[in-house]
Amino acid sequence: MAEFVRDVMTPGVVAVRPDASLVEAARLMRAQDIGDVVVADGEEVVGVLTDRDIAVRAVAEGLDPQTVSARAVCTPDPLVVGPYDPVQAAVALMRERAVRRLPVVEDGLPVGMVSLGDLAEARDAQSALADISRAEPDAGAGT
């Protein structure tokens, strides 16, 4: 198994400003084929916004995604790990706090994300979760 978070993380970060609308964030997620974005105020990570956050915390509550900001529904002050933290520390943190993804921050700057799928692939590339994480999205799914 990989030793450090940097060995398993997805490098690069897709981010939105805290005042970005949920529509803007959702369109960015669609364009990048991802399910989450970092909410950053300048270089500071202030939250993580997932597609599920948009659906459950905004749309299901009847909020207008054109006017509601990313900051209003994101998970604020997210747990973060560093690229040189041991993978086991990330696994333990995810398990303990029941989170599926963690921003990877180095010197205060977001440099990547590590997800359950990343960890599953690193631990057992033949596992069902690793297979799902590697799968290409089905363009017809959900339509």
- Mean pLDDT for 59-86 is 96
Token reading at 75: 């998970």
Q: Is the dihedral of CA 89, 109, 40, 22 positive or negative?
A: negative
What pLDDT does residue 137 have?
46
> What domains can you pick out in the chain, each with its CATH number?
5-134 (3.10.580.10)
Q: What is the pTM of this model?
A: 0.80
Whole-number percent of the chain with pLDDT over 90: 70
pLDDT of 51 above 90 = yes
Whether 142 shows a pLDDT value over 70: the answer reads: no
**Beta-ladder partners of 40:** 45
Residue 68: pLDDT band with limits 50, 70, 90: very high
Average pLDDT, the chain: 86
Check whether 45 has a pLDDT greater than 70. yes
pLDDT at position 116 = 87
Average confidence (pLDDT) over 81-105? 93
- Share of residues in the chain with pLDDT > 70 (%): 84
Output the six-digit token pair for 70.
């990313």
